[in-house]
Amino acid sequence: MEDNKIIGEIIEVSSRSAIAQSYELYDCPPIGSVVKCGDDKEDIYGVITNIETRSIDPGRRPNPKGPGFSEVNELYKSNPEITHLMKTEFNIVFLGYKNNENTTEISIPPTPPRIFSFVSTLPEDEMINIFSDEGLVKFIVNSNMELKDDVIIMIISKYLNSKITKTEEIGSFTSQLVGALPDQITRITNIIQNLNLQEK
């Protein structure tokens, strides 16, 4: 997915999190992706923690279209109305924001983004900036997001895989985890072991 692409709008928001709907069905970055919410005046960062696709009308549940199809794409082609009748929503937990001095703070934003604020993908330089903050891992660990450890694994893996990773960076994240999760060696080991690092 290209950088800085507006992918949807916030449709529900509170101090810690938001729900956004993508413009196109399924057009949402994977869980663990960091996105930017807001408009010209504000930059609020969040991580995608959950993705949900369902009927646009709560009173109309989808029925199976088969049997008779050998591929899902074939099923979609035979029922082209599906993409108009379904929607993809995703949950965003806020991680930080740009303050008045234009520096990034890892925290919930002082005021959440407005309803219908755009959600866009993050350019690499902004992603590196957020991940260079040593408070990030601790903030995530202490948040009450769903699937916390899975999100931690995905967010770190995604960041490390987005560029050529130096060994010391993996060490840095391990240290941050040890600091954020004292006396939880098994949990930390599980997170480190599950990091899905691809060779560059």
Partner 1 sequence: MEIEKTVKYISGLAKQLKNEDSFKATVISKLKNDLEGSRNFRLDQITNEQNAQATYADLLRVHDAAEALLNNSVFSTDGSTLEADRDLPIEFAAINVGYVNINYGDDSGAEFDSALSFYPDPKIQEIDSRVLSDVNSMSALRHVMEMEYLADKMEAFKTDSIKLGFIDGNFYPNFALSHINNNSLKQLLITRLKAVAERVVSLAKDNTYIISYNSSPKSVHITSKMDTKISSDFRDSEIFTELLEDNQRSAVFNEISKDTDEKSLTPVSFIYLNNSYEIAKIEYIKDTIDKDAMDKIHSLVLSQVKKGNGYPKILIESHEQAVISQSDRKSISILTERELNANKLKYTTTQKYQSKQSRNI
Nearest distance from C-beta of residue 10 to partner 1, angstroms: 22
We find the least distance from the C-beta atom of residue 18 to partner 1, in angstroms, to be 24
Pairing of strands 104-106, 17-22: unpaired
Written as one letter, the residue type at 46 is G
As a whole number of angstroms, the distance between CA 95 and CA 116 comes to: 19
CB of 17 to partner 1, least distance (A): 26
Q: Which residues contact 188 (CB under 8 A, 6 or more apart)?
A: 174, 177, 178, 181
Query: Which residue, 71 or 199, is less far from partner 1 as judged by CB?
Result: 71
> Which CB sits closer to partner 1, 83 or 111?
83
Interacting residues of 128 by C-beta distance below 8 A, sequence separation 6+: 163
Based on CB atoms, which residue is closest to partner 1, 41 or 84? 84
Pick 79 or 189: Cβ nearer partner 1: 79
Residues forming contacts to partner 1 in the complex (CB under 8 A) are 57, 60, 63, 65, 77-81, 83-85
The least distance separating partner 1 from the CB of residue 108, rounded to whole angstroms, comes to 33
Contact 34, 44 (CB under 8 A): no
